[in-house]
Chains A and B, each alone.
Chain A
Amino acid sequence: MTAMIDIRDAEKTFTMHLQGGVELPVVRGVSFQVQAGECVVLSGPSGAGKSSILKMIFGNYRCDGGKIGIRHEGAEIDLAQAEPRQILSVRRNTIGYVSQFLRAVPRVATSDVVAEPLIAAGMAREQARQQAEGLLRVLNIPERLWGLPPSTFSGGEQQRVNIARGFISDLPILLLDEPTASLDAVNRAVVVDLIDQKKRAGVAMVAIVHDDEIRNLIADRIVDVTSFAAAA
């Protein structure tokens, strides 16, 4: 069985030029694999580098060494070496990312924010919007809000819009950064259920969750990030 994600000896150091060139090692020797249909949860205290690893898998942070192998359109591509347009293609067709905070264009309606990944992948606008609204309904976003830009919504509502946008595509890999952090019990259960559906559909997931209960519900395997701590 081929892994969807195959990370070998990845490392990341920040060089802070504005602070006199201080080197800030983040992680070193990061190695793990994720199979289709599996949810791997990264654990470790804050500052251990969990979010950085997630960002490296998405190609958002550059990798200073090692390999970030991603199964993309039937072949493996190493994001540590990939060209910008290859990374964009991977994001369009292979990896979705649910960040902690919503970063949306001002003025764009919620249903369009959620439908955008489908439209970018070539779906007709009307059909994409219908799917978006279906998912917003599942996530308990009241219908009267669908036509409004999410910038004025509460933290929990924004996070659910963000989750809808991340879960709407049928991408084979999904990265989740604290997807349930500001949600109430009802909506946490909805997200757990959505993650379950993705697993059954064969999606490989890497997640960061601080809530022990949620972690136990979604994790197939836990990778302890402290073993990758780079600080000497």
Chain B
Amino acid sequence: MVEDNNAIHGDQPLLVAERLGKSYGRLVACRDVSFALYPGEVLAIVGESGSGKTTLLQLLSAQLAPSAGKVSYRMRDGVLRDLAALGEAERRFLFRTDWGYVHQDPAQGLRMAVSAGANVGERLMAVGWNHYGRIRDTASSWLERVEIDIGRIDDAPRTYSGGMRQRLQIARNLVTEPRLVFMDEPTGGLDVSVQARLLDLMRNLVSELNLAAIVVTHDLAVARLLSHRVMVMKGGRVIETGLTDQVLDDPREPYTQLLVSSILPA
């Protein structure tokens, strides 16, 4: 087989959700979600507020225990494991190294009072790096990669603009070379001009690093730019799924047609 750095046809799924559901008493937040995500594949979960997309993201990233079904993840040894059955050390490995989680509000994903360099270096130290010079070099090269001026490495993110904070959060997540990144409305709180720059950056990083990603967004333009595949949610269910441009250009379900036709022309 020809070498391909965009190994979407890696033939073993990285993450598998089977009939996943979550209810709070009689309230069903999410039900019967099944899909497989492959290495290098970007999946967008779209839908309006209350559709269950954030609950689904939390279930997939093991921050919330499902009421039904299960999520399995292929560990670096190649074995597909049920997330609910992982030991503490394995869970920690996932959260600190193999996964990234980009929050909509960077203040949730960063430590706002410590320097940018330390924010990035901290994740390296958590996986056992202890050479200060190497940590600082790696942190600087990541700041450069997300287009943050190295002169700002010792400043705390609370002195950063919204767009810079979001780029710093991305650097902090990617420094450990995760294979899967979860993103919750990653461009949500940003100005449109800043959004475009961030999207372009994320798109390049995802393809260069062959990252798999699950992106929750209500913005169909974000889904179009970033994702290969899209799942449309409504009332806690996945109502339509397919190749991103197929779902957006040829939507089948009434609700998806409504979503697509509700985009205001620029």
Contact = CB atoms under 8 A, between A and B. Distances in A.
Interface in B189-215: 196-197, 199-200, 203, 207
Given A61-B246, A122-B4, A89 B200 contact: no
A217 interface: no
Given A17-B253, A17-B257, A107 B41 contact: no
B133 interface: no
B19 interface: no
A107 B196 contact: yes
Contacts of A85: 8-9, 38, 41, 228-229
A84 interface: yes
Given A88-B228, A105-B196, A122 B5 contact: yes
A84 B244 CA distance: 9
Given A105-B203, A108-B200, A89 B9 contact: yes
Interface string B2-32: 1111101100000000000000000000000
A16 interface: yes
B25 to A, nearest CB: 33
B240 to A, nearest CB: 11
Contact of B196 (A16, A92, A106): A106
Interface string B236-266: 0000001101100110111001100100000
Contacts of A89: 8-9
Contacts of B199: 105
Interface in A73-100: 84-89, 92
Interface residues of A, number: 25
Contact of B246 (A15, A60, A92): A60
Contacts, number: 69
B243 to A, nearest CB: 4
A62 B250 CA distance: 7
A84 B249 contact: no
B200 A106 contact: yes
Contacts of B229: 84-85
A107 B6 contact: no
Contact of A60 (B4, B197, B245, B252): B245
B36 to A, nearest CB: 10
A59 B250 CA distance: 10
B69 to A, nearest CB: 22
24 contacts: A14-B250, A16-B257, A17-B254, A17-B257, A18-B261, A55-B250, A59-B243, A61-B246, A62-B242, A62-B252, A84-B228, A84-B242, A85-B38, A86-B9, A87-B243, A88-B8, A105-B199, A105-B200, A105-B225, A106-B200, A107-B197, A108-B200, A120-B6, A122-B6
Q: Which 3 A-B pairs have the closest CB atoms?
A: A17-B254, A106-B196, A84-B243
